[in-house]
Every structure is written in C-alpha cells, then in structure tokens.
Chains A and B, each alone.
Chain A
Amino acid sequence: MVDLVKVYGNGETAVAAVDGVSVGFEQGRFTAIMGPSGSGKSTLMHCAAGLDTVTSGSVHLYDRHGVATDLTRLSDRALTRLRRERVGFVFQSFNLLPTLTAEQNILLPFELAGTKPDQDWRRTVVDTLGLRDRLDHMPSQLSGGQQQRVACARALLPRPDVIFADEPTGNLDSKSGHELLTFLRDCVAEMGQTVVMVTHDPVAASFADAVVLLADGRIAGHLEDPTAQSVLDRLKTLGA
C-alpha cells in the first residue's frame, strides 16, 4: 500500500482517517494491525480489502505468482469479483446470513462465483474446524464460537490471497477466542495462508508474526514476533 489517504467529509469538516500510510503485508504471514480507538485501523483494513474507496494512493494485491492488481483502479463489479475470489473476511459479529445453513454460508462465495470448491480441501477445512455435524444448522442454532468457525471456513475455502479478520475474537469468550487465534496461526504456519487481523487486544496480537501499530491515521511502529507484554509496552508509549 502506497501513500494511502482516506478522507471523510469535505471542506472544513474533512477528517483524514488514514493519512499517508504506506505499509506492506507479507505473504504467508500473520500480521496484526493495532492501535487505539479512532486510530484508523479499521479504515485501513477496509481500504486494503477493497470494501471502501480511497481518497488517494493505491492498494496492490499480489497473487501467488507475484502479479499485482491495483484495487483503486477497479470498477465496483471487478472489485466484487476480486473479493469473491481473492479475499476472505472474518468479522467481529460473525456476519453469517441468518437464512442460510452453516454449509450454505460456507459455500456462498462459490455459489456467487458459480464454481465448485476443491472437495478434499473442503473436507479438510470442515474437519479441522470441527464443523462436520453442524453443517445443517442455522446460524441461530450455533454458539458464538461455532458461528465464528463457520465464518473462518467461509473465508478459507476459496484459498484467498489474503484473509482479513476484523476483531475476530471481540464477541467470543476467552476459550473460543484462544482456539480461533490458534487456528488462524496454524493456517498461516501450515498452509501458508496470509492473514491480516485488526485488533485492540494485545493478547490476540501476540498470536501474530508481526504487529503494525497505528495512531491518528499514521504508522506509529512495527513489532516482530510480539508477545502480549511487548505489545502492551509499545501501546503505552503511543497512548502517552
């Protein structure tokens, strides 16, 4: 990402949520974006994922062969296709479609694209997440942890170039949260999946390979192999 600027409003009321951020998320790594409330971390993620338009700057998504696509130059339709095939999402409040079963939710991106998932991969994902006997359930019949696992399966199944997770543990109890983060880390370590996670929880961030710190819409720091304590220490210096 280069010189990313996102301005909300215009004229005197204009607020730059993200102000000249240039950052790269490495392939095959688990990166956490951290920062206090209002630091622009969610906006940064939305722009990176092609959910939101940018005011200026560019967003490049590299595929497995290293070919870059500039998201800011794509039409809405092309951006939608890109999200469908190359980007996965895990949201704080799960965001499963309440009218579809767990299985239908998982298969939705394929359904939208009109394609079929690789059957071995599908079995692997479903079994790894322990969802085999929950596939016929409606989201309302699942616990929070189960719903978030369904969301994970949905994000993983298309083998996207990158998965964006927006406070994925925010609505989970600590045990489910721990399991989920472990799973995300395993995805990166064992399958080479790229994961970018927005969080304000230092413990969650400690599962990541690297942490990008954000404050007032600007990059405020960088940490490799973080621990909960090291993240907390850095945050304290930011808050001051």
Chain B
Amino acid sequence: MAGLRAHARRVVGTLFAVVFGVAFVSGTFIFTDTAKAGFYDAFARTGRNVDVDVQATYVSKDDPVRLTANQLATVRADPDVAVAEGRVVAPLAMLDRRGKPISNFGRVGLVVSTDGDARLHSFEVQGRTPAGATEATLDVETAAHQRYAVGDTVTVVDAQGQRHPYTLVGLLDFGASKEFSGSTVVGLPSTAIGTLTGVTGYDEIVAIARSGVTQDRLAASISNRLGAGPTVVTGDQHRRDLANSAVEVADQFVLVLLIFAVISLVVAAFVIYNTFAILVVQRVRETALLRCVGASRRQVFGAVVVESAAVGLVGGVLGVLFGIGVAYALTSVLNGTLNAGVPSHAVVLGQTSLVAGVLTGLVVTVAAALIPAVRATRTAPLAALRDVVTVRVTHARARIIRLLLAGLVGAGGVALTVAGVRAKDPQQGTFVVVAGGVVTFLAILIASPAFIGPLARLVGAGPTRLFRTPARLAVANTRRNPGRAAITTATLMIGVGLMSLFSIFIASIRETASAQIVGHYPVDYVLTGVRFNDGGQAPVPVALAAALRKSGDFSGVAEIRVASVATAAGSLRVAAVDPGALGSVVNPELSSGTLADLRPGAAIALTRSHLAVGAPIAATVGKQSLNLVVVGTTPATVPGTEQVDALVTWADMQTLFGPADDATVMVKAVPGLTPVESRDRLDALTEPYPLVDVNSIADLSSELDTAVNGIVSLFAALLGTAVIIAVFGIANTMSLSVVERTRESATARALGLTRGQLRATLLAEAALMAVVGAIVGIAFGLVYGRLLVRTAFATIGPTIVVPWSWLAGLVVLSAVAGLIAAVLPARRAAQRSIVSAMAET
C-alpha cells in the first residue's frame, strides 16, 4: 500500500482503464434498470383503472382474431363489471400539409378509438373527444411537430386510398407512454374506424370491477362467460406483461452492449496486467530489499494483490459513477440511431448494478495483477544489489515454445475458419467463422512478441530515413521488451481490428444491397404502397400502372404482384412480374436456369427460400391449387416489398388470385427526360393515390446509406471505449517506460541528444506502437471481414467492399492517439536535468 502511495501517478492510467471498463458494464446495467422502470411507468398509464383485460387472440404476430361486439356485451352483462369498453387500434395513414403521408421509419400511423368511459382511456384529452362524423383528435406529439392545433383540418386516407378531412376537436396526451411514440395517432370513434379501415371488433376489452370485487375474481368470472378463445388477465398482470414485453426488446440491445462491455474489459485487463508487470520489474530492488529484511514470498505476493485490489476498488466505484453518464448516453444513442423508443426516466441505480460494477473492477484488476504478483515473489533477495536490467533477453527456448503454442492455436483457428467458410448453412457457418476468428486472434496475441519488433522496424523504416536518430531510437526502444510492447499494442489491436472488421462487413452489406437494386432492376423509380404499423402495406392500384403507360413519359413500366400461398411446408411469398416487363425492365440475373424457362407451372426460387431446381411447390390459395416446379434460382430480391420466396408467371398469379392491385410498380423514364421532369410527371400521375410512395433508385440508395451510417457510428462509439482504454494503456506504458529509462535518456542527452530529439524519440515510439497495433488489427479485420461477409451471404454472392479510406483513417487516428498518449511522459522526460537523472538508478 505504501508502494501505491509512492507511485500514485504511475497507476493513474490503470485507474482510468478500470474506470472506463467498469463504466461500460455498470452503465449497461443501469441503462437496463432505468429503461425497465421507464417502461413500467409508461404502461402503468396505458392500463390505469383497468381491473380486467380481455385480449384478442393472434393467429400470427400481425394477424389478430379481434373481439366482437357480442363479446363486449357478454362482459358488460357480468354483474361484477362496473364499466367495460372495447379498444381498437388500426393502421391509418395521415397526410401532412403538403398532402404526403406522414411516416416514421417508413411506416405510416395509427388510429385509436376514443369513445367510451373516460376512466378507461389510455390518454388524457385536451379539448374534447370527437362527436360528429367530421370530428377527430390527434396525439400531441404529432400536433406539435406538424403544427396542428384544435380547429385545424387534418386529412386521413382510408384503405381504398380515399382522402377524408376532419376537424380537430381535441389533442390526445399519452403522457410518458411510448407505446405509439413516433407514429401519428388519430383518435376517432370505433364506428368511424370500422368504416375507414375495415377493421371491425376490438383489440381488447377493458373493464372496471364493481367496488368490493377483486381483480382475480372478476377475471375468473369473465373468463368463464367468454369461454375458450380470448385471453383474460387481471389489470395488474396486464401492466406487468406490457412492460416485460417492451423490456424484452431492450434486453436484446443489452446483450449486444454486454458483448462490447466485455471487449472493453478485456482491453482494460491487458492494460492493468501491463502496468503491474512493469511496476514489479521497476521495484525489483525495493522488493529484494524487503526480502533481505525478512519479508516472506507470501507477504510480497500479498502486497501486490492488495495494491491491485485498492486500484480495482477505487476504479470500480468511480466506474459506477461514470456508468450513470454512460446509461444516459446509451438511451439517447439507442433512441437516436435505432428508434428504440426507450422511455426517459430518472436514473435507477439498483443494487445489482452497483455491486456488479464494483465487483467487476475488483475482480478484473486483481486477476490481471496475479501473474505480476507471482513474478514479484520470485525476486531473489540478492537482486537488491544488482543493477536493474531494463532490457529483457528472451531465451531462444521460450521463444520457440511461444511460437509453437501460437502455431498450434493458430492452426485450430484456421481449421475452424475453413470449416465455417465451407459450411452449407450460412448462419451456422458464420458462427463457426466467428469462433475461428476469436481463436486465430488469440494465436496472433500469443505470437505477437515475436513479430512486433520486426514489424516496428518495417513500419519505422520510412520515418527513420526522415527523422533519423529519434525515429531509429524509437524503433530500437519498441524492440527492447517485446512482451511489453506486444501487450501495449494488443489493446489497440483489439479495438481497431473489430472496427475494421465491422466496417468491411457493413460496407459490403450496403454495396451488396445497392448492387442488388441497381443490377437486377435497371429502372429509375420504384412505386410502393405505404407501410402500416401492423406490418401491412397498402397496394398500388392497377389503374396507376395503366395511367403511367398511357402518359408516354415512361418507356418501361413493370407491375409486380406479391401474395402468400400455402404449401405443405408452410406459407410462401410468391411474386409475379407482368409479362411485358419481365426480361427488359425487370431482369434478374439467375444463378441457375434461364428466364425463358419461367412458363406457367414453373417457378424461380429466390435465395431465402432455400429451394433447389426441381423442387416441387404445391401451392394452394383457398380452394385454388396449383403444382409448380422450381426451374431456376436467383440471388435477386424484389425491392420495395416484404421478402419474397419465389417468382411465378403472371398467368399463374391470375389463376390463383384473380385480378388484384400491384405490390410494386417499377418505372423507367423515356430517355431525354431530366430527373426533375420525370419526377414532376410521376408526382402528377400519382397525385390521386396518396398511399403510393414514389422512390427513386437514388432515394433507396441514400436511405440505405443513412441506415448503414447509423449502424457504423453506433459500433464505432461502442468500440471507441475499447480504443480509449487502449490509449490510456499506451500512455501508462510510456510514462512507466520513461521512469525506467531515466538514466538512459540522460546519457543520450549528455552525448548530444537535444531536448527536442528526446521528446521526438518518445513520441515516435508511442506512435509506432499505435500504428503497429492498428496495422495488425486491420490486417485481421481485412481477412475476417471478407470471410464473414462471404460466409454469411454465401447464397447471394455478395460484393465485398473494403473501405480503404476509413481504414487509412483508423491508422492515422491510432498514430495521433499514440502521440497524444505520449505528450505528457515525453515532456516530463525532456524536462529532467541531466545530472540529477543520471544520479538516479
């Protein structure tokens, strides 16, 4: 402990590493607790006053069997029920002041029922609820950002694409509830909802018990009356269920976050290990002296462990405090980039987060210091009399053992990777490749002391020619203790390696996706119906395609229909392209078979269906059935609609479904029309169809870019913690090395090294280590980024993109980070007077 006090400055870097690592972990826990509390609050409001909740049963996630008016009457007939109301929520598009549907992340809004007893509303009403057929309410959020007030007219669009104007008579305040956050929520009487959307019945029936009747008793009695089918739960249970299902979504984020937190902790552990290893070496004389005066090995060991425990404890406590800030940041980042809809809530610092945070700091720090502690016990008492050797000569045997071990582990990693790449199932293969990557990385870490030195010389070759002595000395310094340099660079290697891996992965996905659109569909615009919040999508009326053809402004118009058919293996989404456009406007590349083979009775399988040529498809729709055979496969997808499994002929589609609207219409403008002109004409022609979205191919690409950039920045931010810890590690190693080399630096100064050159030497050494770490990390990322993309998207034949400029940026950034890390140590070293430094041992 006394040692710690004496060397307080030497462990500051370590402390920071612990603090950052712990902050990430405890921040994640605090975020979870806070988000949970927020969700509970939000749903307490949705379910307020509700004693019993009757829920519609769901055939599939988006396909409810709604509750009927009869069932509502049955509930009301229960003598224990004081009040019972039906609630309905349905998709409904609302237009903005320019007449375009308001959408949030590609989806249009909702309508909720506002009739019934006010006690059972999940909202407060500012103004009043709609009474006449021309009155409506709107949620306060939408009203605020679309600048609507009571008295204004708002327009909604029914399922048939007809516009309906309403006068606003009130605003709905959902309070802290984020259930509908981001969507437009129009409030109408349930009868009006029925006429507009075609949705009849209720999503749920909520009831208040007569006084003196418990929730459980009422739930049992209502359940009896309704019989099998609907789910009946008490109000309390309902509120818990709602919150839990919301938290489940948050839990998925938390898992991802914890993975990143563990990465940060591993990096922090490296930094801690390195610090204590260096401290132990520096204190050989001190330790030996203690041994001389009678300290036992156990006492020496204990001293190091206690010291690390103190650092871990302080770091843990500070880390938890920082964690609160991290939790705040996580909430805003997740809401901002992923639209997670996490409700805001005062920070909840639970016991688990507190204990877990502090314990993490303690355990990781002590564990990382164990090996150095054991090494300290090996100090011979006689070492007190010897000169401290700061250059460690690695024995050839140790080096061979290390390389053998690295080779063995590396072979395992490569074997796993190869197995993963060759695996049939892309998902399984991806997991195996990831496992192989982890093992291979381990092998690189084991082997790194052997290659860091030569690599540093290679990287330093350029600067050496430029800056001569400082750079040459720096290169020599990085090679003096390969183990230490290896661990210092390893910390950066991890962060930069993952960053480059992700960037390659994501850039490739982006490029693959846009290549899909551009390659398979040489069109200018894609018209689709707006998407509803329940997963449905509005159709594109056939009349629109006819109007587009008639106008003469468009050389290619391709109608695409999509529908679900039932097969023995489950439901299958099939698409058909109108015969006039297939092969010209829509021209998917096939990986087997030819488009000419697509005749009635045939189908071309898309990658996601996993169907092979020759596979039979027995499709049924209602009473219609059709036997199809797969004649070809294609990696193409159909843009603008939900996933499609197979392409069939237009004729077969007609046979199965009869005439219907289109899912997507692709349009190619006649040559000679500028993009602005074609867009204007397209807008004019689609004007009667408010639920049709016009996207240019450029729009689709830029939408993709925005989404991709969001994910990239999120990952960069998460991995940034690991990189920051690594920089602290470099700073710590540098300042400790400077202390260790005090006399040596003084000698060089005596021989004619200027202050500037000494500073440059240390700066160059740190930058060199950082760059070497970054280069190894990027090399790893390059290999595994490619392999992962290739494996995960094996069936599509992905385009692999390496974002070289971003990778080059990473190297420069690492170098700058290394320089910054070394500024203070270098200053301190350069300011020492030669004579006093020389006197120090």
Is chain B found bound to chain A in the same assembly? yes
Determine if A218 is an interface residue (Cβ-Cβ < 8 Å): no
Q: Is the CB of A46 within 8 A of B835?
A: yes
B470-501 interface mask toward A, CB cutoff 8 Å, 1 = contact, 0 = none?
00110011011000000000000000000000
Give CA–CA (A93, B389) in the complex, Å: 13
B442-475 interface mask toward A, CB cutoff 8 Å, 1 = contact, 0 = none?
0000000000000000000000000011001100
Give CA–CA (A11, B393) in the complex, Å: 48
Q: Is the CB of B752 within 8 A of A85?
A: yes
A49-79 interface mask toward B, CB cutoff 8 Å, 1 = contact, 0 = none?
1011000000000000000000000001100
Q: Is the CB of A112 within 8 A of B393?
A: no
Q: Is the CB of B749 within 8 A of A80?
A: yes
B746, closest chain A residue (CB): A95
Q: Is the CB of B391 within 8 A of A98?
A: yes
Determine if A237 is an interface residue (Cβ-Cβ < 8 Å): no
Give CA–CA (A166, B747) in the complex, Å: 13
Q: How far is the CB of B729 from chain A (nearest CB, A)?
A: 21
Give CA–CA (A140, B387) in the complex, Å: 12
- In the assembled complex, which residues on chain B have CB atoms less than 8 Å from the CB atom of A85? 752
Q: How far is the CB of B27 from chain A (nearest CB, A)?
A: 42
Q: Is the CB of B468 within 8 A of A99?
A: no
A93, closest chain B residue (CB): B387
Q: Is the CB of B389 within 8 A of A112?
A: no
Give CA–CA (A88, B755) in the complex, Å: 19
Give CA–CA (A111, B393) in the complex, Å: 25
Determine if A84 is an interface residue (Cβ-Cβ < 8 Å): yes
Q: Is the CB of A83 within 8 A of B744?
A: no
Q: How far is the CB of B720 from chain A (nearest CB, A)?
A: 33
Q: Is the CB of A83 within 8 A of B750?
A: yes
- In the assembled complex, which residues on chain A have CB atoms less than 8 Å from the CB atom of B477? 99
Q: Is the CB of B473 within 8 A of A99?
A: yes
Q: Is the CB of B752 within 8 A of A84?
A: yes
Q: How far is the CB of A4 from chain B (nearest CB, A)?
A: 15
Determine if A41 is an interface residue (Cβ-Cβ < 8 Å): no
Q: Is the CB of B468 within 8 A of A89?
A: no
- In the assembled complex, which residues on chain B have CB atoms less than 8 Å from the CB atom of A202? none
Determine if B753 is an interface residue (Cβ-Cβ < 8 Å): yes
Determine if B351 is an interface residue (Cβ-Cβ < 8 Å): no
- In the assembled complex, which residues on chain B have CB atoms less than 8 Å from the CB atom of A113? 752
Give CA–CA (A148, B211) in the complex, Å: 101
- In the assembled complex, which residues on chain A have CB atoms less than 8 Å from the CB atom of B389? 98, 140
Within B372-417, which residues are at the interface with A (CB < 8 Å)?
387, 389-391, 393
B753, closest chain A residue (CB): A112
Determine if B283 is an interface residue (Cβ-Cβ < 8 Å): no
Determine if B568 is an interface residue (Cβ-Cβ < 8 Å): no
- In the assembled complex, which residues on chain B have CB atoms less than 8 Å from the CB atom of A104? 476
Q: Is the CB of B835 within 8 A of A111?
A: no
Q: How far is the CB of B544 from chain A (nearest CB, A)?
A: 76
- In the assembled complex, which residues on chain B have CB atoms less than 8 Å from the CB atom of A84? 751-752
Determine if A30 is an interface residue (Cβ-Cβ < 8 Å): no
B109-140 interface mask toward A, CB cutoff 8 Å, 1 = contact, 0 = none?
00000000000000000000000000000000
Q: How far is the CB of A190 from chain B (nearest CB, A)?
A: 24
Q: How far is the CB of A134 from chain B (nearest CB, A)?
A: 17
Of the residues B390, B757, B835, contact of A51 by C-beta under 8 Å? B835
B45-59 interface mask toward A, CB cutoff 8 Å, 1 = contact, 0 = none?
000000000000000
Q: Is the CB of A80 within 8 A of B469?
A: no
Q: How far is the CB of B830 from chain A (nearest CB, A)?
A: 10
B839, closest chain A residue (CB): A42
Q: How far is the CB of A104 from chain B (nearest CB, A)?
A: 8
Determine if A91 is an interface residue (Cβ-Cβ < 8 Å): yes
Q: Is the CB of A109 within 8 A of B751?
A: yes
Q: Is the CB of A95 within 8 A of B468?
A: no
Give CA–CA (A90, B390) in the complex, Å: 21
With A52-B833, A52-B834 known to touch, is A89 a contact of B751 (CB < 8 Å)? yes
Of the residues B472, B747, B749, B755, contact of A91 by C-beta under 8 Å? B747
Q: Is the CB of B748 within 8 A of A97?
A: yes
Q: Is the CB of A154 within 8 A of B751?
A: yes
Interface size on B (CB < 8 Å)? 30
Q: Is the CB of B473 within 8 A of A89?
A: no
Q: Is the CB of A100 within 8 A of B476?
A: yes
With A51-B835, A80-B752 known to touch, is A111 a contact of B747 (CB < 8 Å)? no
Determine if B668 is an interface residue (Cβ-Cβ < 8 Å): no
Q: Is the CB of B752 within 8 A of A77?
A: no
Q: Is the CB of B757 within 8 A of A112?
A: yes
Q: Is the CB of A76 within 8 A of B755?
A: yes
Give CA–CA (A154, B751) in the complex, Å: 9
- In the assembled complex, which residues on chain B have CB atoms less than 8 Å from the CB atom of A49? 750
Determine if B584 is an interface residue (Cβ-Cβ < 8 Å): no
Determine if B299 is an interface residue (Cβ-Cβ < 8 Å): no
Give CA–CA (A108, B469) in the complex, Å: 8
Determine if B754 is an interface residue (Cβ-Cβ < 8 Å): yes
Determine if B743 is an interface residue (Cβ-Cβ < 8 Å): yes
B756, closest chain A residue (CB): A77
Q: Is the CB of A109 within 8 A of B752?
A: yes
- In the assembled complex, which residues on chain A have CB atoms less than 8 Å from the CB atom of B469? 108, 111-112
A197-213 interface mask toward B, CB cutoff 8 Å, 1 = contact, 0 = none?
00000000000000000
Q: How far is the CB of B478 from chain A (nearest CB, A)?
A: 9
B748, closest chain A residue (CB): A97
Determine if A114 is an interface residue (Cβ-Cβ < 8 Å): yes
A78, closest chain B residue (CB): B754
- In the assembled complex, which residues on chain B have CB atoms less than 8 Å from the CB atom of A111? 468-469, 472
Determine if A81 is an interface residue (Cβ-Cβ < 8 Å): yes
Q: How far is the CB of A151 from chain B (nearest CB, A)?
A: 10
Q: Is the CB of A98 within 8 A of B744?
A: yes
A100-123 interface mask toward B, CB cutoff 8 Å, 1 = contact, 0 = none?
100010001101111000000000
With A51-B834, A99-B473 known to touch, is A140 a contact of B750 (CB < 8 Å)? no
- In the assembled complex, which residues on chain A have CB atoms less than 8 Å from the CB atom of B756? 77
Q: How far is the CB of B473 from chain A (nearest CB, A)?
A: 7
- In the assembled complex, which residues on chain A have CB atoms less than 8 Å from the CB atom of B753? 80, 112
10 interchain residue pairs of minimum CB distance: A84-B752, A99-B476, A95-B747, A98-B391, A80-B754, A112-B752, A52-B835, A99-B480, A51-B834, A83-B752
- Beyond the given pairs A52-B834, A112-B751, 5 more chain A to chain B contacts, judged by CB atoms under 8 angstroms and listed by A's residue number, are A84-B751, A95-B750, A98-B744, A99-B473, A113-B752
Report A's interface with B, CB cutoff 8 A.
46, 49, 51-52, 76-77, 80-81, 83-85, 89, 91, 93, 95-100, 104, 108-109, 111-114, 138, 140, 154
